[in-house]
Chains A and B, each alone.
Chain A
Amino acid sequence: MATDIRIDYYPTHEHEGIKFRRGHALPFGATMVPNGINFSIYSSAAISCTLVLFERGEDAPFAEIPFPEEFRTGNVYSMIVFDLDYERLEYGYRMDGPFKPEEGHRFDKSVILCDPYAKAIGGRDTWLATPNWDDVYPYRSRLVFEDFDWENDHALETPIEDLVIYEMHVRGFTQHPSSGVKNPGTFAAIRSKIAYLKELGINCVELMPIYEFDEWENSRENPATGGLIVNFWGYSTVNFFSPKAGFAATGKFGMQVDELKTLIKELHKHGIEVMLDVVFNHTAEGDHRGHTISFRGIDNKTYYMLTPEGYYFNFSGTGNTLNCNNPVVRNMVLDCLRYWAADYHIDGFRFDLAAILGRDQNGAPLSNPPLLESLAYDPILAKCKLIAEAWDAGGLYQVGSFPAYGRWAEWNGKYRDALRKYLKGDEGMVGEMVQRIQGSPDLYYYRGPTASINFISCHDGFTLYDIFAYNEKHNEANGENNNDGGNDNHSWNCGVEGETDDPEINRLRHKQIKNALTLLMVSQGVPMILSGDEMATTKGGNNNTYCHDNELNWVDWSLLEPKQDIFHFAQRITKFRRAHPVLRSATHFEHRDYVGSGYPDISFHGTQAWQCDHSESSRCLAFMLDGAHAKRGTILDDTIYVAANMYWDALYYELPVLPEGKKWHLAVNTDMPSGQDIFEIGKEPMIEDQQRFLVGPRATIILIGK
């Protein structure tokens, strides 16, 4: 009823039949208000701004309304426009101002600009549907509704040490024809696989970028294969507040927000947290040769780190670097994460190339980066997990030294490298392994083991199978003459490069995968596995598959049958970790008995009990976790003994003596064939010889004292 409308929601101006009035400077973005929409946008250097309105999908705008000068407050333009069909509306801006790159300004009023605070983007609604290349406004800002019915859902707030993270790509997870789902490659399809994720035993999914990006960015024909190279991984953000429409089966109806929220709600119902891999280090606009989509045309100098000559610093390796410690950009990042935490119930964030977030506006590392501090102390993000990829492409490597403020965890790249080297039998690794399996106290002494996200494989690099099938990368399919991708893979092909029919080599590869999974799951810290590793997927030795929308990145579900020994092992070792709190300490070990059990919380061993061999040629590592010290003595767990033998011959390991009445039981022996390699929890057989155990060549065992 018109009489119910507040007096400040009546129009005062009219432009070509469209009614409007002065708007509210905050919040930024487009917000529904009674009978209208409030538009608000910031630019520090524009001399004028025009709101551009489209009917959804139309080639030409139906209105362009210049902001009257009196509608500007400081550097913020705001206006309320009345009687718009907000479901059919797409909007953008034209900004007028100087084009003086040497001064940092690149205004171009001929370009229609996407709103940095848009909550949905149109234009790439269906994955790889050919866009209209002549579109005057290819990435179109849209509004979303805030009426999703969450019922009683909220973020799960699982203690981080209890998580088993599963890194996945939304499309890659179900796009393969073998996935057997109804809407492959979408948020909806992941819902169909929740039972599988539960069966595997993980309790957190980390979604590779789902902010709106353009899969067509830098797309080209692959000279090596003739296929199309696209931006598959999505580490190139068009808009930070919008979910990728092309990942939604309902994207073509503009309902990607509902579909994603439904997925999160369903995962939460099953006890699975949702973490987002977020990319705030750069945008899709590239360097000075790139397209102007949004930030560059709105306020280039604010949003990007620029050289004194006005070019783009490139600490991200992708052309530009977001100016994260500019106060305005810092607020945008904060607003964005708050929005995802509050409106999407996201449980945590993993920050891509996060070291960039700690650089000042000239690129120098800050000792107390305001953005990282703000995120750590933010009240809305207070329970969210914050995880840094603690390095960048500009050479800043902060694993172990990332500014943490008591909150931040890190992808532990040193854990990955040490585990790979140890598993392939490198010399001199036992000393470092002692640190890594304890949650890397050498790196995180004051932060605790929960600062360490442990992983051996991730999207970037070899799959777990390929670590044991390739000595070298094989990236020819990327069309860059095998020059892209890292060369420090620390991998070993077990005797033959790539696929082989040799049963002994294949048996060894499977054993090595089981060794890797075992050591990952018994390490203190937070384990993360790469989607598909549980069924030994291969990328054919390609360690940089960012550009492939094909089998190289699609999880091949048909492998579940031939690789069922790996899947069963992954499933059981994951459940083993979750069943034993002594494996999931929130604090570092003290190497002493502080509960009076007669045993230290952790002790290290070798082929002789109580004597860990740290010598250069040693490849033997054993350790015992005293169950009486689980969770600092608050929970009574079994005692767990792990022995890894990365020597090429079997070796006897003398076992520590258990307290009177307890016996060693065999939980895991990776040297044994499937069916005898890992036992169900509670059904571990007692071993005959309680004094010593013959650990096979390149094998790992777990014994339980109970």
Chain B
Amino acid sequence: MAFTIQTVVEEQTAKMTLAGELDSLSARVFQTEIEKIANQPINELVLFMEKLDFMSSAGLRVLIFSKQKVGSHLSIYIVKAQELILDTLEKTGLHHSVNIVDEYPVL
């Protein structure tokens, strides 16, 4: 399934809804979206991943890139990610750098 991404910026929060398969080619699209918000005063990046079926290492690297580009003050929320994606985040230790939640805003 083709990768799609929709971005909404509300005050200091950027919300992105990801769907399909995030591989090395589509990761560039994802990264471009991140670059668009990088110069804005964003404190939170919320990634809705319920409909994201696959994320390759290139996709995970964009998460690292986000922190490095925006700054360490950026809080990243991963919302409703599928099991396969959560598992990969955990094995590679990236779960320490993001907030994994079932819903956003976090109750």
Contacts and interface: CB of A to CB of B under 8 A. Distances in A.
B13 interface: no
B24 A250 contact: no
A254 B56 CA distance: 9
Given A145-B57, A253-B57, A259 B67 contact: no
B17 interface: no
A265 interface: yes
Q: Which of A85, A186, A255 has the most CB of B within 10 A?
A: A255
B93 A262 contact: yes
B61 A254 contact: no
A439 B88 CA distance: 46
Interface string B65-102: 10110000000000000000000101111100100000
Contact of A250 (B67, B68, B92, B97): B92
Given A254-B57, A258-B93, A147 B64 contact: yes
A259 B92 contact: yes
A149 B92 contact: no
Given A87-B56, A147-B61, A149-B64, A255 B88 contact: yes
B9 to A, nearest CB: 23
A255 B57 CA distance: 7
B58 interface: yes
A258 B91 CA distance: 9
Given A250-B91, A250-B92, A265-B93, A149 B57 contact: no
Contact of A258 (B67, B68, B92): B92
A88 interface: yes
B93 to A, nearest CB: 3
A254 B57 CA distance: 8
A88 B24 contact: yes
Contacts of B8: none
B25 interface: yes
Nearest to B25: A85
Nearest to A86: B24
A497 interface: no
Nearest to B57: A255
A266 interface: yes
A188 B91 contact: yes
A253 B97 contact: no
A121 to B, nearest CB: 15
Nearest to B72: A151
Given A249-B91, A255-B92, A259-B92, A87 B65 contact: no
Contacts of B25: 85
B56 A253 contact: yes
Q: How large is the interface on B (under 10, 10 to 19, 20 to 34, 35 or more residues)?
A: 20 to 34
Contacts, number: 55
A87 B67 contact: no
Q: Is chain A's interface secondary structure helix, strand, loop, or mixed overall?
A: loop
Interface string A188-209: 1001000000000000000000
Q: Which of B65, B91, B97 has the most CB of A within 10 A?
A: B91
B24 A85 contact: yes
Contact of B91 (A85, A86, A88, A259): A259
Nearest to B54: A253
A571 interface: no
Contacts of B94: 258
A325 B92 CA distance: 37
B61 A183 contact: no
A171 to B, nearest CB: 15
Contact of B93 (A87, A254, A266): A266
Contacts of B56: 87, 253
Nearest to B56: A87
A265 B93 CA distance: 9
Contacts of A248: 91
Contacts of B97: 149
Contacts of A255: 57, 60, 88, 91-92
Contact of A262 (B58, B65, B92): B92
A186 B91 CA distance: 10
A254 B65 CA distance: 19
A145 B23 CA distance: 15
A91 to B, nearest CB: 15
The 4 closest A-B pairs by CB, nearest first: A262-B93, A87-B24, A258-B92, A188-B91
Interface of B: 23-25, 27, 56-58, 60-61, 64-65, 67-68, 88, 90-94, 97
Interface of A: 85-88, 145, 147-149, 183, 186, 188, 191, 248-250, 253-255, 258-259, 261-263, 265-266
12 contacts: A147-B61, A147-B64, A149-B67, A188-B91, A248-B91, A253-B56, A255-B57, A255-B91, A258-B57, A258-B93, A259-B92, A259-B93
